[in-house]
Amino acid sequence: MTTRQELRPDPRIRSRARRAITAPMVAALAVGLAVTAGPVPVQAAPPVVAQEWGSLMYRSLTRQKTLATLKSTLTMQQTAAVTRTKEVSQATAGLAAAQARVTTAGTAVTTARARQAAAQTALTTAKQKLTKAQKKRPVSKTAVTKARKTVTAVTKVLVVRRTETQKATTTLVTAQTAVRTAQTTLTKATNTRAALAAALAVTRNRIATLPTAGAYADKAATMSRDVVNQTRTGFVVADTMTVYGTTVHRSVAYAFRRMVDDARANGIAISGGGFRTKERQIELRKINGCPDVWSAPSSSCRVPTAIPGRSLHELGMAVDITSGGKTLTRTSPAFKWLVLHAKAYGFVNLPSEPWHWSITGG
């Protein structure tokens, strides 16, 4: 519970809070929350439940952006899938062409080898005839000369045939290398397409199963009391940060910032007093005439004021909201806006105090 008389934290506390720097609330909040500050103090991390609450609210408030990003990714993947399919088709055609060239080159090698073998046989026969002509008596110079010319001619043919075989063999080797390259290209294209198809399936599934913003916020709401209870045990002032002049716990900072920004976008200016120390809570109990600082119920005070150690202001998880420097009433435009929208940012109103908004409504 809070008081109309105390809508802003003690200036001394606010000054200390502004100098305090906190680590990012969670990895998911790091992208969305930027708060200017100095050196980071040594401190314990907030309870896991508080980090989870902040993460859920961040995902709730960025759900539309997340969905747009996923849809954009899906479009790019679908475009890429068309390209990858074309690449597979081209690689398949390339491999078929390379294999055809191997077949042609193989036939050419077989033909060249056969012609070389025929030339080799012809040369052997020509040499045998030359030998026979040389041994025949009486020797016929004309026959010997003719046989020598035949050997010379056939030798030249054999040289040509050997060259042809070498060229055909080289062409075959080149074609075989091209086949291996084409096969590698096809395998790579096929694997790339398969990987992209898997990525497409993941993206489609993420879009189909992406919780609504309300689902995220509702889940966070179920954790809010645990957040308060677990945060209270180890809370230190360094766990707070200042957002637009209002000091709040860093686990709720992003949600509060978004609420202020979105309200402003709707023509509603909101601010207020957030964190206050236990010492300040004690002062308020005295100022507001509570019968006993430590035991009297808040309702017994002139203005309801929580017992020290029980106020959510002491954790920076409650804000006494003002608009245009004025305390909210039930007729304030800001109050009406908050009634419609504050739940989406994780803030709930304490029915007896139109100005008091916290993560539990207490």
In this predicted model, what pLDDT tens digit does every residue of 270-303 receive, in sequence order? 999 999 999 999 999 899 999 999 989 988 998 8
189 with 244, same domain: the answer is: no
Report in angstroms the alpha-carbon separations of 247 from 40, 203, 241, 271, 324. Answer: 17, 38, 5, 10, 18
Residue 191 has pLDDT above 90, yes or no: yes
Residue 40 has pLDDT above 60, yes or no: no
127 with 199, same domain: the answer is: yes
153 with 274, same domain: the answer is: no
Q: Is 35 left (phi over 0), alpha (psi -120 to 50) or beta?
A: beta
Asked, for residue 5, whether it belongs to a domain, the answer is no
Residue 26 has pLDDT above 70, yes or no: no
pLDDT above 90 covers a percentage of the chain that reads 81
201 with 241, same domain: the answer is: no
Give pLDDT, residue 28: 35
40 with 74, same domain: the answer is: no
Give pLDDT, residue 8: 40
* Distance from chain centroid for Cα 46: 25
- pTM exceeding the 0.85 threshold for the entire prediction: no
Report in angstroms the alpha-carbon separations of 343 from 3, 225, 347. Answer: 22, 15, 5
23 with 86, same domain: the answer is: no
Give pLDDT, residue 299: 87
Length of the chain equals 362
Residue 317 has pLDDT above 60, yes or no: yes
Q: Name the H helices within the chain.
A: 11-19, 27-30, 48-61, 63-135, 141-209, 213-234, 250-265, 278-287, 333-341
159 with 268, same domain: the answer is: no
Mean pLDDT of the chain: 88
φ/ψ of 352, rounded to 5, equals -80, -10
Q: Which domain holds residue 120?
A: 68-209
The domain that holds 33 is classified in CATH as 3.30.1380.10
Place of tokens 């390209």: 83
The domain that holds 79 is classified in CATH as 1.10.287.620
Nearest to 321 by CA among 7, 3, 18, 6: 7
Asked, for residue 219, whether it belongs to a domain, the answer is no
Residue 25 has pLDDT above 90, yes or no: no
Number of domains in the chain: 2
Nearest to 281 by CA among 314, 232, 317: 314
Give pLDDT, residue 118: 96
94 with 200, same domain: the answer is: yes
Asked, for residue 94, whether it belongs to a domain, the answer is yes
192 with 267, same domain: the answer is: no
Q: Is 267 left (phi over 0), alpha (psi -120 to 50) or beta?
A: left
In this predicted model, what pLDDT tens digit does every residue of 221-278 receive, in sequence order? 999 999 999 999 999 999 999 999 999 999 999 999 999 999 999 999 999 999 999 9
Residue 44 binned pLDDT confidence (cut-offs 50, 70, 90): low
Give pLDDT, residue 21: 31
φ/ψ of 9, rounded to 5, equals -70, 160
Residue 139 has pLDDT above 50, yes or no: yes
